[in-house]
Amino acid sequence: MSEVLEGVRETAPTPLLQLSMQQAINRALGEILESDDRALIFGEDVGVLGGVFRVTDGLQQRFGANRVFDTPLAESGILGTAIGLAMAGFHPIPEVQFDGFAYPAVNQIITQLARMNYRSRGRLPMQVTLRVPSFGGIRAPEHHGESLESLFAHVPGLKVASPSNPQQAYHLLKHAASMPDPVIFMEPKARYWNKAGVNLAADEDTASLEGSVIARPGKHATLIAWGAMVSRCLQVAELAAEDGIELEVLDLRWLKPIDEAGLAASVSRTRRAIVVHEGPHTAGLGAEIAALVSQSCFDTLRAPVERVTGFDVPYPSGDLEDEYIPNIDRILFGVQRVLEYRRG
């Protein structure tokens, strides 16, 4: 044992590579194509152009137009092609160019992609990893920013993930691609260009890639978020710390299945919870999370679960995004409400 420990002490730490989320996803896709001959990447402009956000940049040149190729502007056709390829034993990794363009493909996603494994009693598993650039924050026109997680999470047969940083994007995408089930991989567009350290050599076991993670420990309340809202909640926690308030930030990561145990553990410690998401308030994923927290932590909660969300209006175009997306002030007011709550 002492020899093993001595060897560990002498091992130099693996250096972190500074990558944007866009670069981290690109690397992950390249490694998936290298390791899995069945993997195919396709979608609108993903080949020659390398994608609107350049996430697939250079992949067609490396792996050829038979494995990375452009499709017509027809999202239903893209998903129909993916389903047929999966039935034939391939591993499709299609891209919907913007989340708002996913609506034409919803019929294929719900009635075929999510059900085929169940319908065939396991004879036709759907190993499809659907990449969806998601959420707002880039001041794009209408239909180029949406928050569709509650729609996808509601559908049995689908798994839904949303990374918040480059390290997660790299490892979660590779993990999602290894699953036999269809995974909706929601990439926060607003975080594509933010760089952070990524350990490409990290041999993370499956358990470490499941469920939620604590992005920042705290004791007075738990901020629950995913995607781009994790970064915003970390900013809120920094500001609150200046006033002596220690907020825990729980990065949900997986939106289906939701990590009920991780939720309960965090909120049981802090006794207060605020859910932050970009989707509309009514029937948003925050409502499901609030129900789970209330069920698991009823005896320990000091205040009702607060939700800071988008509004019950269509996701606006870029000039109104700042009014719609939860900002730091709105989240701080949510924190204030749970901290000052007094039972009548």
- Catalytic residue numbers read 144
Q: How many CB atoms lie within 10 A of CB 283?
A: 13
**CB contact at 8 A, 167 and 24:** yes
Distance CA 199, CA 304 (A): 39
Q: Give the whole-angstrom CA distance, residue 199 versus residue 166.
A: 10
What whole-number distance in Å separates Cα of residue 331 and Cα of residue 221? 12
d(CA 147, CA 100): 8
Phi, psi angle pair for 187, to nearest 5° = -95, 120
Cβ–Cβ under 8 Å, residues 159 and 213: no
> In sequence order, what are the residues at sequence separation of 6 or more whose Cβ sits closer than 8 angstroms to the Cβ of residue 161?
172, 176, 183, 184, 185, 186, 253, 254, 255
What are φ and ψ of residue 17, in 5° steps? -100, 125
